[in-house]
């Protein structure tokens, strides 16, 4: 859950085959072998957005669909962001988007933000930051 020094929420828009459309999401990725969740969060944020977090705070960790698979998500609040080089995977077509917190929360309420981990991360950050 990246939040800029100016208070903007950063999300990425990318095509998701399972959904059959482009979705707005928080930057995310898969843990590498032996990789710690915090290291993965730092790496994925830099790769997908071109920002490196000065501070990461674990907001929550949860199963996404425990009746179907064992995927376990860690949601971090990333602040004190510093510009770096974005390095998306070769098959990723990612567009960085910026939103004021009120806009992002409105998208979660009205259904424009439809990715579960992103809705959860946004609501957790809103609670943590008092939005």
pLDDT digits (tens, 9 = 90+) for 113-131: 999 999 999 999 999 999 9
Closest-CA residue to 126 (of 112, 97, 106): 106
Three-state secondary-structure class, residue 85:
coil
- Which residues constitute the domain of residue 20? 9-129
Inside any domain, residue 85: yes
pLDDT digits (tens, 9 = 90+) for 49-91: 999 999 999 999 999 999 999 999 999 999 999 998 777 666 7
Residues involved in catalysis = 92
Residue 87's pLDDT is 74
Closest-CA residue to 32 (of 19, 52, 17, 47): 47
Inside any domain, residue 1: no
Kindly report the pTM of this predicted structure: 0.91
Summarize the confidence of residues 35-47 as an average pLDDT: 96
Taking the C-alpha atoms of residue 73 and residue 84, their distance in angstroms, rounded to an integer, is 25
Taking the C-alpha atoms of residue 75 and residue 93, their distance in angstroms, rounded to an integer, is 23
In CATH, what number is assigned to the domain containing residue 86? 3.90.79.10
Inside any domain, residue 3: no
Q: Domain total for the chain?
A: 1
Summarize the confidence of residues 43-51 as an average pLDDT: 94
């Amino acid at each position: 859950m990246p939040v800029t020094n100016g208070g903007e929420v950063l999300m990425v828009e990318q095509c998701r085959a399972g959904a059959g459309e482009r979705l707005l999401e928080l930057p995310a990725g898969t843990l590498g072998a032996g990789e710690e969740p915090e290291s993965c969060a730092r790496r994925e944020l830099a790769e997908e957005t071109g920002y490196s977090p000065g501070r990461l705070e674990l907001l929550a960790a949860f199963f996404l669909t425990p009746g179907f698979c064992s995927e376990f998500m860690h949601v971090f609040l990333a602040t004190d962001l510093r510009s770096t080089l974005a390095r998306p995977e070769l098959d990723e077509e990612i567009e960085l988007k910026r939103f004021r917190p009120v806009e992002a929360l409105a998208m979660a309420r009205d259904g424009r933000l439809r990715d579960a981990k992103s809705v959860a991360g946004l609501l957790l950050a809103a609670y943590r930051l008092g939005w």
